Amino acid sequence: MNMDFGVFCKSTLDGEPVQHCISSIFGIAQNADPSYLDWLMQAWLWTIAVAGLSLVIALVIGAVMGTLRTLPNSGLGSRLLVRGATAWVELFRNIPILVQVFVWYHVIPSFVVPLKELPSYLLVSIALGFFTSARIAEQVRAGIQSLPSGQMAAATALGMNRVQSYRYVILPMALRIVIPPLTSESMNVVKNSSVAFAVSVPELTLFAMQAQEETSRGIEIYLAVTLLYALSAFAVNRLMTWIERRTRIPGFVGTSTDPSLAH
């Protein structure tokens, strides 16, 4: 197998080697024509941007929907909220992600014309964010329901209303419990962001498909793209592990396996 990683230092216009192959990606020098490495870095930024935006949307909506699904039955209002949140989860987790992306890109803008003006990366972030929010909502719900019912009763006994009980008692414990599955979900968002290629976002997957055709160096291109996906997902993993460790409270719910924290 002969591999030639020099392909990344070639110009994307004429296939000739560029002058500043490595230095240009650090912004020190500028190539006359962009090289495949410049393009790869730009594609990586797009992947990170789409994944980051989707993750923010997914975490916010997921936490809200997951919480709403656990509301105790106390009148019509709470029943409607529970039903609404359940409908949200079932709608977005029962449709394949690629189909959702096409619905947001092709179908919805033909009914809601102002959406046509939105750039495709925003539409795909909404699609991916909503899709992931359904999964996160289920994890948050599981976290809340894993708490003993006495917690809610105790909060009520202290004179807290429903919002205060969730804000000061239930959610601080539940969200800590669900950090491990949220880590997997956040890493999934990075990997799922590859569907953005289908609606013309110039991210890593689109780069791989296009550059391997232009250079006939598919193995080298896919190796580099694989490495960057793995690196991005692993960085998210490290970040979440750091958050998990920082927010841990010794002796709190979700007993730690860390022996130094044992009583």
Q: Which of residues 42-101 bind another protein (CB under 8 A)?
A: none
- Report the residue from 41, 82, 108, 198 that binds another protein according to the rule CB under 8 A: 198
Q: Which CB sits closer to another protein, 47 or 70?
A: 47
Contact pattern for another protein over residues 201 through 230, marking x by CB under 8 A = -x---x--xx-xxxxx-x------------
Kindly state the smallest distance separating residue 106's Cβ from another protein, in Å: 7
Q: What share of the chain is helix, strand, coil (3-state, %, to 5)?
A: 75, 0, 25
Kindly state the smallest distance separating residue 210's Cβ from another protein, in Å: 6
User: Which residues, including other chains, have CB under 8 Å from residue 50's CB and lie 6 or more apart?
Assistant: 121, 124, 125, 128, 193, 196, 201, 203
- Report the residue from 3, 5, 6, 13 that binds another protein according to the rule CB under 8 A: 13
The SS3 call for residue 11 is: strand
User: How would you class 198 by CB atoms within 10 Å of its CB: exposed for 0-12, middle for 13-18, buried for 19 or more?
Assistant: middle
Q: Which of residues 109-128 bind another protein (CB under 8 A)?
A: 110, 116, 120
Q: Which CB sits closer to another protein, 206 or 228?
A: 206
Q: Which CB sits closer to another protein, 120 or 184?
A: 120
Determine the residue type at 4: D
Q: Which CB sits closer to another protein, 8 or 197?
A: 197
Kindly state the smallest distance separating residue 9's Cβ from another protein, in Å: 16
Distance between CA atoms of 40 and 59, rounded to whole angstroms?
A: 28
The SS3 call for residue 10 is: strand
DSSP state of 82: H
Task: Count residues near another protein (CB under 8 A).
Answer: 21
User: Which residues, including other chains, have CB under 8 Å from residue 259's CB and lie 6 or more apart?
Assistant: none
Kindly state the smallest distance separating residue 28's Cβ from another protein, in Å: 23
DSSP for 20-74 reads: -TTGGGGTSS--SS-BHHHHHHHHHHHHHHHHHHHHHHHHHHHHHHHHHTT----
Kindly state the smallest distance separating residue 214's Cβ from another protein, in Å: 5
Q: Which residues in this chain contact another protein in the complex, by CB under 8 A? A: 12-14, 33, 106, 110, 116, 120, 197-198, 200, 202, 206, 209-210, 212-216, 218
